[in-house]
Amino acid sequence: METATTTRNTLDVDVGGTFTDMVVHYKGKPLTLKVPTTPYDLSVCFLDAVEEAARTLDMDPREFVSHIDLVRYSTTVAMNRLIERKGPRIGLITTEGHEDAILIGRGAQWIDGTRLDERRALPRMTKPQPLVTRELIVGVKERIDARGEVMRPLDEDDVRRKVRQLVDRGARAFVVTLLWSFANPSHEKRVKEIIREEYRDYHVGYLPVILSHAVVSRLGEYARTNTAILDAYLQRSMQLELSSMWDKLWAQGYQAPFMMVHNTGGCADVFRTTASRTYNGGPVAGLVGAYKIAQALGYKNVVASDVGGTSFDIGLVVDSDVRNYDFNPVIDRWMVGMTMLQSLSIGAGGGSIAWLNRDLGNRLEVGPQSAGSDPGPACYGLGGEDPTVTDADLLLGYLNPDNFFSGRMKLDPELSREAIEKKIATPLGIEVMDAASLIRRIVDEKMSSAIRKEVVLRGYRPEDFVLFAFGGGGPTHACGYGQDFPRIVVFPYSAVFCAFGSSIMDVSHLYERSQRMMMIEPMTGRAVLDRDSFNETVRSLVEDARSELRAEGLPEDQVVFELELDMLYGGLIHSKRTSTPGLQIESEEDVWRFYKQFETEFSEAFSPHVVNLPGGVYIDTFVLKASVPGQQLRMETHQLASDDASAARTGQREAYWPALGAFAEAAVFDEAVLRPGNVIQGPALIESPFTTIVITPDRQYRIDEHGLGFIEPTRR
C-alpha cells in the first residue's frame, strides 16, 4: 500500500451506510480495516474500528489512541439526518416583505434533487416540503441595499417582539437571513445580540442562532437562506453525534486534533466546521485520493468510481485537475449557496434492493432503496427479506459465503435464493439464476449509464479516461460497468479508498465573498479595476483565514493561499470561476494578466467565439482557499516477478459469465499472495479481506510495479 512521507500517526475513518472504513498510519506503516456500521449510534462503530486497530497492532486501546496525532473523519450523518427529517423546529427571521421567498423558491425547485424517472412522471411532481413552516417565518423592519448602505434602520423592538413570537410557536433554533447581509452584516449581527439578550446561552433552553452571512457570504438570497437553514437543521444532531465520539476518544486518552472532511476537498477542525460543509465528505475524499494517485501515475483523465453498500459515487479528474465544482449544488431537494467538488451519487450498491415496479408492468428495478447494514442483504441472516445486489452476486458464484468480510461474516446462499425467488423470480415467471443475473445486469448498466452521462455530457470520450474502481463493490462490478474503458485500476486498499483519500488530504478552508467590481470597461477596453479595493478584499479574506488557522493551532508559515474569481463578460448572467496568477494586483499589467487567465479558461469551457471583451469584464465573487499541505503520497516501487500467478491460486469455483451465457469454472486466487508482475487470465476470482475482484473471460488482471491491479482486454 502507498504510504505518506511523514512520521505522524494518523487515523482516518469513513462511515458509510453499510460499513465503516479505517486507514491507520502508525510508525510509518499502513493498516486498513472495516467494521459494520451501527446506524443507531455512529460512535459505536467508530470505537469498534479503533479497538480493532488496537487489537491488530497488539496494543491496549488507550495506549493506541494516546499515540495518535490526528483523526480525520468523513460521514453521511448530515445526509442521513436530512433524509430522515429529524431536525429541530427552526424559526426564520428575514427582511420584512420577503417572508415567502424560500416557499416560492425557484422554478427549478420542482425538480431539484429528483431522479430522472421522477421528473418524467410530471403529474406526480410536487415541490419539497419546506424545512421551515410558514408560521415560523417572520419579517423584521430593516433594509440594507446592494452597496451595503442602510436604507431602513433595524427596528429592535420589532425584532424582540417577533423573536418571542417564534419561541412561543415552538422554534428551537434561529436562522437570520437579511437582504444583502453579505455586503453589510451589521443588522444580522445585531439581531443575534438581541436574541442572546432575550435567551442567554447559559439558559437551559439554549437556542442556536445561525447567521446567513457567516455561513455563505455570497450573492443569492434563496441559496444563501437554504444553506443557513440546513446548517441549523443539522447542527444539533451532528453536534450530539460528534460530541459523543469526541468524548469517548478523550476518555481513551486522545488529545490531538479531530478533523472533519469537507466537500470542498479539504478538512478542518470539527469545532470549526459547519454541518453543510460535511455533506458528501466521503465521496469527495475518494475523489481527492484518486486525483493524487493520478498525479503520481501520470494519468491526466480519470473517472473515480466508488461502489459502496448504499450508493455509487462518480468523480472526474480532467486534464490533471480536480477543479470541477458545483457552485450551487442541490442537497436533498434544496439548492445551496456553497462551493462543492462535483460528484454524482446514485442509489446503486451492494445493499441496493431489487424490486418490481407495479406501475410499469412489473418492471425489475434495482435501488435506490438500500438494505443498509441492519438488517442488510437477506444472506446476512439478520432478518432482511428483500433481495439485494449482494444476494445476486452470492448466487452467481462471485462471492465466497465462507470467506466474506475476512471470514467474519458467514453468508447464507439459501436465504438469498428464497428472497430472489419469492420477490423476483416467481412473480416474473423466470428461474432464480436468471433473476439473479438480471439483477446484476441492471445494476451494472445503471452504473455504466451514470458514468457515460457524466463523461459524455461534458464533451469527453470514455476511451480517453482511466477508470479507478474502489469501494467494497467496485472491483466486483468493475468489468460490468467499466466496459467502455480500456483500462481499469484496482487498488490493494480499494475497499477503504475514501478513508485512504482523507489520509492524504490537506487541511483547508474556503472563504467566499461576493463583491461586484468592473475590471475592463465596456466599449473602451480600458483597465479600470479599483486595485486598492481589490487588494483590500483579498487581504481581508487572508486575515480571516490566518485567524482561523491560528485558532486550530496550525503552522502559519506552511499555509498556501490560492485565489479564484467568479468573473463574467458584460451582458452575461452566469459567471465562470477562474484561477488567478497571484493574490494581489499592483499594476495595470497585473490586471491584464488576470484577465488573460480568465479569457483562456472561459474559452476552454465554452468557446473562443463567445469571448466578448467589448462588453466589459466584471468580478462577481472572490474565493480564497487556504491550505496547510497534508501527508505526501509515496508510491512504493517493487521489482517485477514473473507473470506466473499459480502460487496465489487457492482453488476454483463455478460462476456465471454473461458473455458465455452460462456457469463456468473460474480460478480463485488470494490477492495477498499475488506479486508485482503476475498476470491472471479471466475468468477468475481474486479474493481479498474486504472485496472480491471479478475478472470476466474477455479480460486479464495484471499487477504493476506499484502493486496496483490493472484490468485490461485479454492478450491471449
Tens of pLDDT, residues 402-425: 988 877 889 999 999 999 999 999
What is the second-level CATH architecture of the domain 507-629? 2-Layer Sandwich (3.30)
- Model confidence at 4: pLDDT above 60: no
Convert the pLDDT of each residue in 395-406 to its tens digit: 999 999 998 887
- Per DSSP, what are the bridge partners of residue 32? 23
Residues of the chain with pLDDT > 90, as a percent, come to 47
Residues 669 and 713: their CA atoms lie apart, in Å, by 19
Across the chain, mean pLDDT equals 88
55: part of which helix (H) or strand (E)? helix 42-56
Q: What is the pLDDT of residue 84?
A: 64
Provide DSSP, 319-367. TTB---EESS-EETTEE-SS-EE--EEES-STTEEEEEEGGGTSEEEEE
> What is the location of CATH 3.30.1490 in the chain?
507-629
In degrees, rounded to 5, the angle at the alpha carbon of residue 226 between the alpha carbons of residues 222 and 230 is 175
Q: Is the pLDDT of residue 3 over 80?
A: no
Residue closest to 595 by CA, chosen among 571, 615, 573, 625 = 615
pLDDT at 40: 78
Residue indicated by cell numbers 474559452: 603
What's residue 54's pLDDT?
92
How would you classify the pairing of strands 507-520 and 617-628? antiparallel
**Per residue in 465-482, pLDDT tens?**
999 999 989 999 999 999
Q: Which pLDDT score is estimated for 414?
A: 96
Burial 559-577 (b: 16+ CB within 10 A, else e): bebebbbbbbbbeeeebbb
**DSSP H helical segments within 57-155, as ranges?**
61-66, 77-84, 101-104, 116-120
Q: How confident is the model at residue 323 (pLDDT cuts 50, 70, 90)?
A: low
Confidence of residue 2 (pLDDT cuts 50, 70, 90): low
Cis before residue 88, ω within 30 degrees of 0? Answer: no
Q: Please count the other Cβ atoms lying within 10 Å of the Cβ belonging to residue 410.
A: 13
Q: Are 652 and 665 within 8 A, CB to CB? A: yes
Give the model's pLDDT for residue 116: 65
Residue 201 vs residues 177, 195, 467, 491: alpha-carbon distances, Å: 20, 10, 51, 49
Q: Where on the phi/psi map is residue 607: left (φ > 0), alpha (ψ -120 to 50), or beta?
A: beta
| Confidence band, pLDDT 50/70/90 cuts, at residue 677 | very high
pLDDT at 396: 96
pLDDT at residue 203 greater than cutoff 70: no
pLDDT of amino acid 117:
66
In the chain, CATH 3.30.420.40 sits at 3-81+246-261
SS3 (DSSP) at 33: strand
368 CB-contact burial (10 Å; exposed 0-12 / middle 13-18 / buried 19+): middle
pLDDT (tens digit per residue) in 581-610: 999 999 999 999 999 999 998 998 788 888
pLDDT at site 327: 58
CA contacts within 13 A on the Cβ side of 642: 5
Give 611-665 pLDDT, tens digit per residue.
999 999 999 999 999 988 877 777 888 999 899 999 999 999 999 998 888 999 9
Which of 632 and 22 is assigned the larger pLDDT? 22
198-237 exposure pattern, b = at least 16 Cβ within 10 A, e = fewer: ebeeeeeeebbbbbbbbbbbbbbbbbbbbbbbbbbbbbbb
pLDDT at 716: 54
pLDDT for 28 beyond 90:
no
Residues 543-571 have a mean pLDDT of 87
C-alpha cell of residue 609: 467565439
Whether 566 and 619 have beta carbons less than 8 Å apart is answered as: yes
DSSP, res 423? I
Please give the average per-residue pLDDT across 237-266, as a whole number: 82
pLDDT over threshold 60, residue 77: no
Q: Looking at residue 7, what is its pLDDT?
A: 61
End-to-end CA distance of the chain: 30
pLDDT of residue 248: 84
Dig out the grid coordinates for 184 from the structure: 453589510
Residue with cell 487498488: 491
The pLDDT-based confidence of 324 (bands split at 50, 70, 90) is low
State the pTM of this model: 0.83
Residue 415: what pLDDT?
96
- Polymer length of the chain: 716
* Res. 190 pLDDT band, cuts 50 70 90: very high
Give me the sign of the Cα torsion angle 330, 334, 340, 346: negative
Range with the lowest mean pLDDT among 21-25, 235-239, 528-532? 235-239
For residue 83, pLDDT beyond 70? no
pLDDT of 125 over the 80 cut: no
Bridge-based pairing state of the strands 662-670 and 649-657: antiparallel
Q: Which region among 51-55, 196-200, 292-296, 369-373 has the lowest average model confidence (pLDDT)?
A: 369-373
Does the bond joining 375 to the residue before it have cis omega, within 30 degrees of 0?
yes
- Cα gap 325→280, rounded to integer Å: 13
Question: Amino acid letter at 594?
Answer: F
The domain 3-81+246-261 having CATH identifier 3.30.420.40: the answer here is yes
Cα–Cα distance measured from residue 455 to residue 481, given in angstroms and rounded to the nearest whole number: 14
